[in-house]
Amino acid sequence: MAGLILGEIIRLSASPIIGAPAAGFVLGAIMSRDIQDGGNGVIEGTITINTVPGSRRVRLFDARSGRLIRETWSAANGAYAFQHIDRARDYFVLAHDYLEIYNAVVADNVTPDPM
């Protein structure tokens, strides 16, 4: 379950949209926060395909329930990170080959490091 943290309200002296009158007030920094699964932990890794780093879909699951917590794509250098996750849980990470050449790879019993 995701929530929002609302920043301070900022008074506009001019509209950020060209040609539109100033609306008065807008919300400042709006940041997404994961209320249910969030925390101060991080899980990082590198995806390799036959020892060569590559970009693939990476999913993070809660080990106990099997529920999908987050998903991302690794960068071209294979690096991925799941930040701001609950350190009190264990997880498993699944990397999936969208080209369907290789089977998925799973890292089980992964515990987050402190951020």
- pLDDT tens string 33-54: 566 777 889 999 999 988 999 9
User: Which residue ranges form the domains of the chain, and what is each CATH number?
Assistant: 1-36 (no CATH), 38-115 (2.60.40)
Given a cut of 80, whether residue 14 has pLDDT beyond it is: no
Report the run of H or E that residue 69 belongs to, with start and end.
strand 68-73
Distance CA 56, CA 39 (A): 25
102's CB contacts (< 8 A; 6+ apart) are 49
CB atoms within 10 A of CB 16: 9
pTM of the model: 0.68
Give me the mean pLDDT over the 89-106 stretch.
Answer: 92
77's CB contacts (< 8 A; 6+ apart) are 46, 53
